[in-house]
Structure 1
Amino acid sequence: MLKIWGRGNSTNVKKVLWCAGELGLPFEHVNAGGAFGVVNDSEYRAMNPNGLVPCIKDGDFVLWESNAIVRYLAAKYSNGTFFPTDPTVRADADKWMDWATSSIAAPFRDVFWNVVRLPADQRNDAAFRKGLEDCTRLLSIADKALAGQPFLSGAQFGMGDIPLGCFAYSWFGMPIERPALPYLKAWYDRLAARPAYQTAVMIPLT
């Protein structure tokens, strides 16, 4: 059985839990990282020397890095639906996966931590405002793309929607001023109607 390590409130872990849920895979989930510990245990470090989450074990195969895990699960278990067989379509989905990680993750962290995780006396308003400005600019790129297609993956939901979809729940759930990005919001509403998204991603923000 597939085994997934990682605390459920981690954006990167949510990607994997959501993907597994969409694929209908039976799996064992082990909370790890943060207050749960585990990641510094020698057994875990033998699997993931980075000491980070998520990490999976599928049979004898061990894999870390959230986007790589999503791609692996989609390629192995989706019968070409979440992991397109057409290289051009697949590259378009890949693009959005890596974009969410390389472009959105850092400014989003500055927003999320200064709204949700840090106590009021430790918050950095300048970092929050810069993060909000950058996220707004970047998310407008996704909004423009979604004006012409229902999902970042194309005509159908797929792996390309998963990384940004995990950020989207927090983006629309935080008490912040957001610009009107109607196509992004409509896409998020489509995700929010998916049972696997509700289970893995739409949990209290912590």
Structure 2
Amino acid sequence: MLKIYGRDSSINVRKVLWACAELGIAFEREDWGAGFRPTSEPAFLAMNPNAMVPVIEEDGFVLWESNAIIRYLANRHGGAALYPLQAQARARVDQWIDWQASDLNRAWSYAYLTLVRKSPAHGNAQQVAASIADWTRFMEVLEQQLQHSGGYVAGAEFTLADISVGLSVNRWFGTPFEHPPLPAVAAYYDRLTERDGFRRYGRNGMA
């Protein structure tokens, strides 16, 4: 059986949990990370020397990095509907997965750590404002994409890209500041909520 190492409050662990829900994969999960067993323990470092969650193990195969994990799960467990085999369609999915991991994540990090996590190391008002401005700019990119994509990030059908981006959209709405109107993003958020996996691991009260 698939084993997942990481606390379920982690946005990156939740990517993996949601992917498992979409793919119908049974799993066991162990709590590791903040508030649980420290990822600095030798047993965890032997699996991931970066000391970060999530990590998975399946039939002796160990893998870390959430986006690599969800791609692997789709490839391994018949998820071509979520991760297309055709080169251009797959590249479009990869484009948005990588955009979420790089541009979008970097933008929201400081504001989220200040406004939600209440991190004492992230209380600079100017940096919060700059983070919100950058975050908003990238969310406007998503708004434009959703206005003509056909309903989901990479096109008309739900894909792995929506798992990565959808959890960031949940974080956008769950972070307390004045949000500009983004009607296509709001409709997308409601559309995702129709999916059981998102209700369980995305729009479930955790930002």
Q: Normalising by the residue count of structure 1, what TM-score does the alignment of the two structures yield? A: 0.94
- Farther-moved stretch of structure 1 (96-105 vs 194-203): 194-203
Letter in 2 for 1:42: P
Q: How does 1:48-59 map to 2 (within 5 A)?
A: 48-59=48-59
Alignment of 1:83-98 (within 5 A): 83-98=83-98
Q: Over the residues paired in the alignment, what is the CA RMSD in angstroms? A: 1.6
Instruction: Check if 1:183 corresponds to 2:184.
Output: yes
> How far 1:136 moved relative to its partner?
0.6
Partner residue, 2:175: 174
Deviation digits for residues 41-68 of structure 1, max 9, x if unmatched?
A: 2221111111110000011111000100
Per-residue deviation, residues 89-139 of structure 1 (Å, max 9, x unmatched): 010010000001110112211111111111689622212111110011111
Mapped partners of 1:108, 1:69: distance in 2: 23
Could you say what secondary structure the match of 1:51 adopts?
coil
Deviation at 1:27, TM superposition (A): 0.3
TM-score (norm 2): 0.94
Structure-2 residue corresponding to 1:99: 99
> What amino acid maps onto 1:117 in structure 2?
R
**Contact map agreement 1:100 1:164 (CA 8 A) in 2:** yes
The SS at the match of 2:82 is coil
* Aligned residues of 1:114 and 1:125 also touching (Cα < 8 A): no
Alpha-carbon distance between aligned partners in 1 of 2:119 and 2:107, rounded to the nearest angstrom: 19
**Do the aligned partners of 1:116 and 1:205 also contact (CA within 8 Å) in 2?**
no
- Superposed CA offset, 1:161-200 (max 9, x none): 1111111112112221111111111111111121111111
* Count of aligned residue pairs for this structure pair: 206
Classify 1:196/1:130 alpha carbon distance in 2 versus 1 (closer, same or farther; 3 Å): same
Separation in structure 1 between the aligned mates of residue 182 and residue 169 of structure 2, nearest angstrom? 12
Divergent runs of 4+, >2 A: 119-124, 202-206
Rounded to whole Å, the distance in 2 between the matches of 1:200 and 1:130 is 29
Indicate conservation of the 8 Å contact 1:23/1:77, yes or no.
Answer: yes
Which runs of 5 or more residues in structure 1 are unaligned?
A: none
Residue type at the aligned position of 1:169: N
Instruction: Using the aligned pairs only, state the percent identity.
Output: 37
Structure 2: tracts of 5 or more residues without a match: none
